Amino acid sequence: MKLQVINGPNLNMLGIREPKIYGKLTLDDINKRIEEEASRYNILVEFYQSNHEGDIIDKIQSCFNEIDGIIINPAAYTHYSIAIRDAIASVSIPTIEVHLSNINNREEFRKKSVIKDVCIEQISGKGIDSYLEALRIFFERNNG
């Protein structure tokens, strides 16, 4: 099984950006932990981060016929990017939306996800465990 992890805008600033909300781990720390956990499940993982909506769409589209599942943290694009939503819908690859913080316990505008309805799951508020839970879900789906 091969998964693509896609992280959206400002996640490259983890460890610096609002550590009380997002924690002190860097994106590299998170990716290393995901890779360690994925190896336990015999899952190959590729990582991608961009601050640009079109680049994220291009990455999603490049997964078509190449990747078995996508774990995406669309960050701020969660709340308004119909284009990312449509890209996920167009490739028909099982996708799990993840967030480090609990988007339902934050500002009102963060409670709405336009991405959620084209994903098989949405996991938020568990820090790095949001990503690790997504890995587990993909493993269980693949191994019945």
Q: Active-site residues: which are they? A: 22, 99
Closest to 95 measured CA to CA, from 110, 76, 73, 78:
73
Q: How long, in residues, is the chain? A: 144
Cα(48)–Cα(40) distance, integer angstroms: 21
Beta bridge partners of 85: none
What residues contact 110, with CB distance under 8 A and at least 6 apart? 78, 79, 103
Residue 78 in contact with residue 115, Cβ under 8 Å? yes
Helices (H), 50-120: 53-62, 82-91
DSSP readout, 120-143? SEEEESSTHHHHHHHHHHHHHHH-
